[in-house]
Structure 1
Amino acid sequence: MQRSLARLLAAGCEERWESHASSDVAWRQLRDFARRAVKHEPPLRDLDDVTASFVNSWWMAVRTSKTGRDAFRSTTGMIRTDPRLQAGPVAEALSRRVPRLPSPQRSYSDREFGQIRAVARRQFRSALLRIQDSAQHLECWRSGDFLPGSQEWARGEALDILARTGDLPRVTTAAGRTRIVRRYEAATNGANWRALFLNRMEATSLGVLLMTHFGWNLAVISQVKAPQAAPDLGLDGHPTYQVPVRKDKGHRFETENVSDIGADSPGRLITQALEATRFARALVAEVQPDANRLLVWRTQMPGRVIKKLERRPKVGLFCLGLNGDDGARWGRHSGTGSPFQRGRRTVVAVERREASQHTQATHDRSYSLPDERVQAEAAPVIAAGAAAALRQARATTAKLVALVAESRDPQHAETATADCSTTDEAPVPTQDGGCGASFLLCLACENARVHADHHPRLVQLHDALGHVQSVLPPSTWARAWQDAHERLEDLRDKVGEGGWKHARARISDADRTIVEDLLRGDLNP
């Protein structure tokens, strides 16, 4: 069994997974499968001992949790590639469709997301202003603008050393500890190496802002390369950056063009990110030229071992990108919680409402449809659409369908509201070949004919329905009488105001009696 699973894992490392983290998760899931196989009675010695009943019992044990379903989906996808498990009942059991459970995660409210954005902007802006001020002072020092021996000159010397080495000169104390030489510490006003570099929390704040502007996930933020501005700045002089971003899964990249057009534009954030990380990126490029990342920051503990180097590799004193621990620590410090997963959901599902680094199907299935906030905000829109559809349907069905004739045809049968040309294809056919529809529906039937002799009675019916509307609840009126009333109004428009007025003058007692009986239901079939 171990050898069989090892072969599957090796094949997956070559073909299925793109990162060490993904293959590590798969290995843990295979290990759990192996433990389950050992505990089975009798123990499974190899993959050809796997049966449909074992797979089904495994599914019943894990189906109630998201983690269990993910592990089942991933592991069955691996082991069913073995030739011994590609036919028979076990193959069908391994091919079981595993639907996703509803995600318990929901997007932030506007207030919560605004707070996260404000905290990140405040922290990163403070760091940016510090680095910009230090960079300007360093440029003046290198231009010889300061008098040697002055405080400004000493600060410039310290910044120059820091820009070239990433650290300030240190001495070892009697206790065996190292500290920065006091005159350099004083020259930088205690900022030390932070004078030119972002620290861990400031870099995470920049990552949060990239998430709020672009909807990138943590992996994309960590791996995004430092973009280059297009050579042609255009007539307005605003730089446009070409940012390669990984799409879906695999190594497919698409270039996003981002323009710096103002203080709150995404392009301005790219400009500021390049400014805040330029000294760190320059030092990293000297050691490892191919380590081109936008998010580079100086670690406070260079000797600390980082286990997950794939997500946050180190180059000397500097770390590239972020990992989940950085987001969790930032959330604890800011009091907002780790912002990246819920924040990205908020941007993608609520603010942008479009797919980001995933397919449209994934966007709909995993982001928009299950999100409680999206559902709540969609309810009024859906209700308004349904109401509009109902109004449109009413407007369509409430139109006069009966034909307006010039005169009566002796071959047609008279009804309470019109003449009937035929009962063939009647809307409510009866067993004897007649029509069982209410006379109020005659005006909605293609077999009906309306001529001038009907107009007085229909005017009386129109007026009577108007009186009924004034005394009935709106819902009752709409359900029972509104369609008939609107068809009569359509007839009035066709007859014209003059013809309608003339018909009113010809209303007879017989017309009034028929209308009264019709509304009471006495003339219903």
Structure 2
Amino acid sequence: MSTGRGGRRAALPPAGYTPAARVVDDAACRVRFVPENPAQPPREFDFSGWRVSLPLRQAFAAAFAERTRPGGRVRTSESAYKTFRTLRGFADYLGDLLTPPATTAQLTAAHLDGWFLPRQQHTGGTIQLGELKTTLRKLDGISDESRAALVQRNPPRARITTKASYSRSENQRILNAARVDVRRAAERIRGNRNVLERWRGGELDEEPADTYLRGELLDYVDRHLDVPRYESRGTAPKYWVAALGTVEEHMTALHLSAVEAAAFAMLLVGLTGQNKSTILNAPAAHHRPDGFTGQPAIAIVELDKPRRGSRRHMDVPLTSVPSWAGPDLADTIDKTGAPPSQRVDLHSGFGVYSLLHELAEPARHALGSGRLFVFWAGTGAGVGRGLRTRFDTRLPLAWAQRHDLPTDIAAAQPAPDGQREQLQVTFGRLRLTYNELQQRPVAHTEKTLANEYLSRNRGNLVEYQRVVATTLAEQVTKASTRARLHTLSETDIAEARTNPARVAALHGMDTATLQRMLAGELDTVLGACVDDTNSPHAAPGQPCRASFMLCLSCPCARAMPTHLPLQVLVHDALVSRKSAVTPLRWAQRFALPHAQLADLLDRAGPVAVADSRRVATPAQRELADRFLRRELDLS
């Protein structure tokens, strides 16, 4: 840190400090990886069993250590394992060759091509190739030919459309099932915490023995994170504990179970559209700009998406108004009559986040964790027994297997044998469904949404095409029924020089206004305004502050041939935006002005339009860009 005024020296390690070696054992070829998140434990990757020569194993281990060094692009244990797995696959391929290379100098471009050949038709093959080449570039001693192959552009990614979104009804079926689990968990945990408070307050002293013992057991579980057990009988729970239920029932009396945590994750992904890893690693710390009194309630959470590089940290607002809600829905949420502390809002990101924050708080405090997700995992959860913050990748499948969630086809046509096709629930498809339904980007650009996510989705194509077609038809109808922008021709402009009174009367203005318009004093962007204090978009007598795009159908607007170049530039820009946003988004935002501008250009004629496009000046192009970026809007 700067030592200038107001600064202080940065903390430095003591004299003689040397960083811990990451290659744990050169002979055994083990590499120690330390995740960026201190909550994740270090992990060792073993290269000793690889079916290549010792020099290659050591070279691969050194390259892996350099690729996963602190401060690099590989920051999590999951990313490090993917890098390790891809490199191991390449080593297995080399080991199966008749004459495998023994040193890095013997590696050739043919080895890379041979490894990639069976993977080139898989949608993830090109991604793995890029991952492998990035790691191999860390090798020492490779030939110039091999190094040149490692910097060549990767082939285009295979376009496979097996990943599909859920239909609207399937998505609702999944989210409703998750809401049922979450609501039951809230009722159970809140009820047991109330029993615990009453027991600690002495209110259960006169209650039946079972009620008193349950309060005593809850107190023990809360303080020890376990149940009372016999010391002389191994780890068996005491008799009276077993009589009240199973160990898992007792531990989840005050804490969420792994499956319930999965239900929370389903809801948060389904309601926010964020990545699985971003949601599962979400922090419990957040900011409430509404001061806990606002309507609607808002929580700002700093989410982390490492793949975005320098833009990885995102301040994401979670509101109590669902993303699909209308402007008045905020007044109808949480009007159930229940006290605020007992309300359960499971239709908004804020409601689900707040409830999870509340229910996991005791477990979070016990672990000293800052993570949002903390739950008790029993046998079979895949992450070990006890309080955990890490999910097993099979958890969504385990959650889905507990619910009867048929596909739309299976729900409409029950099978004769009673067996119905079940929905395959994944976080990726939930996020894709959110993108499909909301048609707006989440932690990516609109171009990425259109070209990378929705273009590969075929789960709801017919319905989506119908919605887009309907929206386009509605916007074109609006354009045909609204007033057309009044235009002055070249003949009108010429006549105005000799008979301004007649031209002014013909076009609904006085002579002074006509002269000002001809001088360019009344120009907006796409035309000129002859009466800005009598606009249909403002109160009578008040200056109009509406977007200049509304001039296309305003009775106060007039267009002259001098405005045609800007009209052509804006029209062309709207057409080009079709490739940068989703079809539905384009139809909703740009179809109406595009149709209105197309009408203007049609009235001007193809020759005039071509001439205007050719003579447009850099200043006009810059003005059109600023206009479309909404830099000229007054409100």
Q: State if a TM-score over 0.5 links the two structures.
A: yes
Which structure features the higher share of helix residues? 1
| 1:25-80 deviation per Cα after TM superposition (whole angstroms, max 9, x unaligned) | 22222222223334446432333333344444444333122343332221123223
**Counterpart contact for 1:213–1:266, Cα < 8 Å:** yes
For 1:117, which of 167, 175, 178 is the aligned residue?
A: 175
Kindly report which structure 2 residues correspond to 1:417-428, keeping only aligned pairs within 5 A, or say none: none
2:200 to 136, 142, 150: 142
TM-score by length of 1: 0.63
The equivalent of 1:494 in structure 2 is none
2:199 touches 2:205 (CA, 8 Å); kept in 1?
no
Greater CA drift, 383-392 or 199-208: 383-392
| Higher Rg | 1
* Alpha carbons 1:4, 1:47 under 8 Å: kept: yes
Which residue identity is paired with 2:350? G
8 A contact 1:155–1:187 mirrored in 2: no
1:426 corresponds to which residue? none
Give the match for residue 339 of structure 1. 426
**1:210 paired residue among 268, 273, 293:** 268
Q: Which residue of 2 aligns with 1:275?
A: 358
Distance between the aligned counterparts of 1:27 and 1:150, measured in 2? Answer: 59
Q: Aligned equivalents of 1:142 and 1:11: distance in 2?
A: 55
How many residues align? The count is 391
Identical counterparts, % of pairs: 22
User: Which residue of 2 is the match for residue 266 of structure 1?
Assistant: 349
Pairing 1:18–2:36 present: no
Amino acid at match of 2:180: R
One-letter code aligned to 2:185: A
Aligned twin of 2:458: 372
Q: Aligned with 2:230: secondary structure?
A: strand
Kindly indicate whether residue 178 of structure 2 is the aligned counterpart of residue 91 of structure 1.
no
- Give the corresponding residue for 1:163: 222
Residue matched to 2:105: 48
Task: Summarize the Cα distance change of 1:84–1:319 in structure 2 as closer, same or farther, 3 Å threshold.
Answer: same
2:300 paired with 1:300:
no
Instruction: Give the equivalent residue in structure 1 for 2:59.
Output: 4
Distance 1:35 1:190 in 2: 43
CA, structure 1 residues 365+49, in 2 after alignment: closer, same or farther (shift >3 Å)?
farther
The answer to whether the aligner puts 1:105 opposite 2:192 as a matched pair is no
Counterpart Cα distance in 2 of 1:235 and 1:119: 31
Per-residue deviation, 1:184: 7.7
> What letter is aligned with 1:338?
V
Cα deviations by residue, 1:96-151 (Å, 9 ceiling, x for unpaired):
32322224111101111111111111111111101111112222233333334644
Q: 1:268 to 1:86 in 2, by over 3 A?
A: farther
Which residue matches 2:397? 328
Q: Judging changes above 3 Å, is the alpha-carbon distance between structure 1 residues 47 and 187 closer, same or farther for their aligned structure 2 residues?
A: closer
Amino acid at match of 2:229: R
Q: Distance in 1 between matches of 2:476 and 2:104?
A: 57
Q: 1:163 to 1:269 in 2, by over 3 A?
A: same
Q: How large is the RMSD of aligned CA atoms in angstroms? A: 4.2
SS at match of 1:324: coil
The worse-fitting range, judged by mean Cα deviation, of 176-185 and 322-331 is: 176-185
CA distance in 2, matches of 1:193, 1:390: 61
Choose 151-160 or 110-119, whichever is displaced more.
Answer: 151-160
Which SS does the other structure have where 1:31 is aligned? helix
1:282 deviation in Å?
2.6
Tell me if structure 1 keeps the 8 A contact 2:229–2:236: yes
Residue by residue, what CA displacement relative to the aligned partner does 1:231-279 show, whole Å, maximum 9, x if unpaired? 8625547653332211352583222232446333322212221232223
Q: Which residue pairs with 1:241 in the alignment?
A: 299
SS where residue 226 of structure 2 aligns? coil
AA in 2 matched with 1:320:
T
The one-letter amino acid paired with 2:198 is C
In 2 relative to 1, CA 64–343 (structure 1 residues): closer, same or farther, beyond 3 Å?
same
Shift in Å, 1:92: 4.5
Residue identity opposite 2:437 in structure 1: E
Structure 2 CA distance for aligned equivalents of residues 22 and 44 of structure 1: 27
CA contact (8 A) 2:227 2:241 kept: no
* Correspondence for 1:355 among 422, 441, 447: 441
Deviation at 1:186, TM superposition (A): 3.4
* 1:284-314 CA-partner distances (Å, limit 9, x unpaired): 2xxxx2x22221111224xx895xxxxx6x7
What is the distance in 2 between the residues matched to 1:170 and 1:123?
30
Q: Secondary structure at the match of 1:258?
A: strand
Aligned 8 A contact 2:396 2:425 in 1: yes
Aligned partner letter, 2:153: R
| Counterpart code for 1:367 | Y
SS of 1:245's equivalent? Answer: strand
CA drift at 1:24? 1.9
Cα separation, 2, equivalents of 1:160 and 1:166: 10
Alignment of 1:467-482 (within 5 A): none
What is the CA-CA distance between 1:382 and the residue it aligns to? 5.8
Return the alpha-carbon distance in structure 2 between the equivalents of residues 179 and 379 of structure 1: 60
- Name the CA shift for 1:377/1:168 in 2 (closer, same or farther; >3 Å): same
Listed as ranges, the matches of 1:374-523 within 5 Å are 375-380=461-466
Q: Distance in 2 between matches of 1:184 and 1:305?
A: 22
Amino acid aligned to 1:292? G
8 Å CA contact 1:331–1:339 kept in 2: the answer is no
Q: Give the direction of change, closer, same or farther, for the CA distance of 1:101–1:232 in structure 2 (3 Å limit).
A: same
CA separation in 1, counterparts of 2:129 and 2:112?
A: 9
What does residue 314 of structure 2 align with?
Answer: 254
Deviations 1:498-517 (A, max 9, x none): xxxxxxxxxxxxxxxxxxxx
1:65 partnered with 2:65:
no
Q: State the SS of the aligned residue for 1:179.
A: coil
Sort the Cα spacing of 1:276 and 1:305 in 2 relative to 1 into closer, same or farther, 3 A.
closer
1:158 aligns to what SS in structure 2? helix
Write the distance in 1 (CA, Å) between the matches of 2:430 and 2:256.
22
Distance 1:141 1:320 in 2: 29
- Where does the alignment leave 5 or more consecutive residues of structure 2 unmatched? 1-55, 322-332, 334-344, 405-422, 496-598, 604-635
**Partner SS for 2:456:** coil
Q: TM-score, normalised by structure 2?
A: 0.53
CA distance in 2, matches of 1:31, 1:385: 51
Separation of aligned partners in 2, 1:91 and 1:189: 60
Q: Deviation digits for residues 356-410 of structure 1, max 9, x if unmatched?
A: 34555543443122111464444346656888889999xx9xx9x998999xxxx
Contact 1:138/1:160, CA 8 A, preserved across alignment: yes
Q: Please state whether the residue corresponding to 2:265 is helix, strand or coil.
A: helix
Change (3 A) 1:104 1:229: same
More moved, 368-377 vs 22-31: 368-377
Q: Quote the Cα distance in structure 2 between the aligned partners of 1:238 and 1:380.
A: 34
